[in-house]
Chain A
Amino acid sequence: MDRSELPLVMVAVAILAVLVAGELIVVTSDGSQYSASAAFDGSHLEYEVSAKGSKVYTVVVSDNDGYGDLGRLFIYYDPSYEEDLQEAVMAVGARSLDQEYQLKQIEAALKYRGVTVDGWLDAEGLRRTMDEGFPSDRPDGVIVVSGSLPSTVYSGHSDDKVIGWLEEGGRLFWAGARLGETYSTTERIVAVPGGQSLFLGAECLNPTGVSSALSEVAGGSKEILSLTNNEVLYAVNPSLLSEGRRSTVMGFTDGTYCSIASVSVGKGAVCIYGGDLSNNQRNDIAQTIAMGIVPGTTVVAYDEGTVTRGTVEGSIDVSGTGFRVYIYLGGYYPVYGTSVTL
């Protein structure tokens, strides 16, 4: 090699080295570089957060007002049934955010927050699951982002299977359109004017084209949970819910509608996420399911800090029992989460 060539070769080698080193980091990163745990001694919650790198963390302690944890969590997806979705607006170069892709990503986002999806259900599978009841004392949950429930469980009547399932304790996590206003068959979408009342007891879902909310819901949930979706199309106006309904709202509001609302239906609940399918909505779905959102959820305490190449220990003073503790790392750029009920 010509001596004058050496500096150029060094530049080339340096760039290739940076590339290959980065490739190894990307390929081998599996989330195992993070961990967290919590324990409760009756008056103090002790927590521990570890990271091989450097990350902000948040510890969220919530009281779920007697609602238990979820048993099984399912995802509904049946491409043979019609969907009632608007095309999502995507960044240049991004893959179109269709129902299946959004669901796969929700599953992935839940996984690194410590929540395992127990299976995907088609329309018939959803009917069977709702028919068989809950196999344990914990209720099932189902994520539906098709914008329209399949005719196997919903046809616009109060005695439909999904209504009974919710009354018994089932939890529906919903996005994509106004809940209950349609149902889907393999051939078409059928309108059910006023169908939302069957679920919510009132017509309280945002019917307008106004979608952006520019304020935070009171209580600090947006900051505490690093919530990101400020779309409120199809979202709940909690002031229109009847007094008998319990509800928790989080995220953003335009003063009327809230981007996240969990509303009681009998012993169960529906949690409605505003807006068309989006990356921000996905983050909020995963984050709130991981923290265990139910209609009675109240954040009773939280702590935050930074962990750098090691373990951080901390404690939070709380009294009572049955707390749900959710610890996540990365803030608005989450990389890890875990939760435990104490």
Chain B
Amino acid sequence: MGGYRFWSKWNVLTIAVGLALRFAIGAALTYTYDVHSWALTISNFEAGQGLYGVAGYNYTPPWGYFLGTFSHLAELVGISDFGTRATEFLPVEDYPYFLSAFVPSLEFVLAFKAMLFAFDLAAGYVLFRLVGDRTDDGGKASKAFALWFLFPSVIVVSAVGGMFDSISVILTMLCIMFMFRGRYFLAGGLFALAVSTKLFPAILVFLLVAYVLRRETDVRDAAVNIGQAVVGAGIILIVVFLPSVIQGDLGSSLSFLTSRASSSMGSGLGDIERYGTILAFVAIAVVAVILARGFRKEVSGDVDGRLLSVAMATLAVLFLYPPTPQYTLLLLPFLIYAAVAVDRAYLFPLVLLAVGSTVFVCYLNVMDLMTLSYYAGIPVPSDLAELVSDIDPNGPGIHLYDILYYSGALVQYAGIVSALAVYLKRDGSVGRVFHVDKSV
């Protein structure tokens, strides 16, 4: 470790402001559709049905296991009421959005989100360490930490959306940092856990293999290192999926492979979307292989820094297939690293992502007030119901929700494209040596 430390006054201030924002926003706004499903998942396994015995949980097992630990802690502190089904808000279920009149209780929401905030913080810490280790500059590390922990879409994805993408970010970053240190067994295990938590890091597998091949001049050494990573990954996969195999739920536990990515922005175009999705991901995989091959063929330079750069580009290519906003969290640490340690030009896509993804998450605005309204009376439920019905999105014309949804998505997309544009302008030529620019 260089001459920098995490518990500096700036980082403490960042943590204080970040947590205050998260708890304030998290208490006020909740996307009930997903948070309700986490409460349902917990009640299902508490009833002895595991994760997949009765419907409710549609992800791979790791997130369900995190919910297992959360449920235990929540009940230890006396959280007994997970929520209600609010008759006042039933009309929202007929709107053309994923909305639920199951309203999680305020106590459940705050406790649950506190766990997500802890993951946000841990991801920020890992990014701090990554930037610090790479630049040996505590100031840049703190900037990166602040950019992450105060990044609007990072805040609202956990505080409003109740989504757990930060876990995948932590695991992916840790994997790469342990690879830098030659800890391939650990890196393999963490990568497997990252991929089995959310599929998207899988796109980096070609690049990570290329990294090992590039670092080791001896093919046998490279094979041994890859073998260690595979063993680590295998052990984690056994730990994660063994209960599903034993209980015959393996099919259910893997259903996200075909559904999560294909739903993406949910255009509703049926087969065109379905087959188009498959073709798009095949094309993305081909580009990922090309990028990894280019990386492998580079003959000199800062291998670790180049890995981070190409990883950023690979993820940006992945998200050219339009993602929902929480997915872009995986791209952010790489982009933040690039903006802080490589080139300030990367700040532009960050700004676009900050605006676009945040609007994209919060496009339902007043409808996200249901928990606060039902449990704290702010506003009273009948007033909120009236407000919601006044702006009935089933009515004719263009609605605020649609404007926010599509404008947020477009700006987010512009952020992804501009990140690639900056990359191509700066590092696009194959074989170009990547240098960490300490003057930034």
Q: Measuring CB to CB, which residues of chain A are less than 8 angstroms from any residue of chain B?
A: 2-5, 7-9, 11-12, 14-16, 18-27, 29-33, 53-56, 91-95, 97, 101, 105, 108-109, 112, 212-216, 222, 226, 228, 230, 252, 279, 282, 306-309, 330-336
Contact yes or no, B122 A53, CB < 8 A: no
What's the Cα separation between A332 and B174 when bound, in Å? Answer: 39
Point out the residue from A5, A11, A92, A306 that lies within 8 Å of B80, measured CB to CB.
A306
Q: Would you give 21 A-B contacts (Cβ < 8 Å), ordered by A?
A: A8-B129, A19-B69, A22-B66, A24-B68, A27-B243, A30-B48, A56-B80, A91-B58, A92-B260, A92-B266, A93-B58, A93-B59, A105-B53, A212-B90, A230-B87, A230-B93, A252-B90, A279-B55, A332-B85, A333-B42, A335-B46
Contact yes or no, B65 A26, CB < 8 A: yes
Nearest CB in chain B: distance from A225 CB, A? 11
Nearest CB in chain A: distance from B109 CB, A? 13
Known: A26-B68, A54-B75. A12 touches B37 (CB 8 A): no
Contact yes or no, B48 A112, CB < 8 A: yes
| B263 at interface by CB-CB < 8 Å | yes
Nearest CB in chain A: distance from B256 CB, A? 5
| B21 at interface by CB-CB < 8 Å | no
Task: Point out the residues of chain B lying under 8 angstroms from A215, CB to CB.
Answer: 87
What's the Cα separation between A33 and B76 when bound, in Å? Answer: 14
Known: A54-B80, A93-B260. A108 touches B181 (CB 8 A): no
Contact yes or no, A222 B87, CB < 8 A: yes
What's the Cα separation between A16 and B194 when bound, in Å? Answer: 11
Task: Point out the residues of chain B lying under 8 angstroms from A91, CB to CB.
Answer: 37, 58, 98
Interface centre among A53, A105, A252, A332 (most CB of B within 10 A): A332
Nearest CB in chain A: distance from B223 CB, A? 24
What's the Cα separation between A25 and B256 when bound, in Å? Answer: 23
Residue of A nearest to B260 (CB): A93
Task: Point out the residues of chain B lying under 8 angstroms from A307, CB to CB.
Answer: 80
| B272 at interface by CB-CB < 8 Å | no
- Main DSSP-derived SS at the A contact region: mixed
Known: A8-B177, A93-B58. A31 touches B48 (CB 8 A): yes
Known: A54-B80, A95-B55, A105-B55. A334 touches B43 (CB 8 A): yes
Residue of A nearest to B100 (CB): A91
Known: A330-B43, A333-B39, A335-B46. A21 touches B76 (CB 8 A): no
Task: Point out the residues of chain B lying under 8 angstroms from A279, CB to CB.
Answer: 55-56
Residue of A nearest to B115 (CB): A18
Nearest CB in chain A: distance from B171 CB, A? 7
What's the Cα separation between A282 and B255 when bound, in Å? Answer: 22
What's the Cα separation between A11 and B169 when bound, in Å? Answer: 13
What's the Cα separation between A222 and B125 when bound, in Å? Answer: 47
Residue of B nearest to A21 (CB): B69
Interface string of B332-366 (1 = CB under 8 A from A): 00000000000000000000000000000000000
Point out the residue from B1, B71, B85, B263 that lies within 8 Å of A228, measured CB to CB.
B85
What's the Cα separation between A3 and B252 when bound, in Å? Answer: 42
Task: Point out the residues of chain A lying under 8 angstroms from B98, CB to CB.
Answer: 91-92
Nearest CB in chain B: distance from A273 CB, A? 16
Contact yes or no, B55 A94, CB < 8 A: yes
Residue of A nearest to B102 (CB): A332
| B316 at interface by CB-CB < 8 Å | no
What's the Cα separation between A92 and B54 when bound, in Å? Answer: 16
Point out the residue from B59, B65, B178 that lies within 8 Å of A23, measured CB to CB.
B65
Known: A23-B61, A93-B59, A93-B256. A8 touches B45 (CB 8 A): no
| B16 at interface by CB-CB < 8 Å | no
Known: A11-B125, A334-B47. A54 touches B78 (CB 8 A): yes
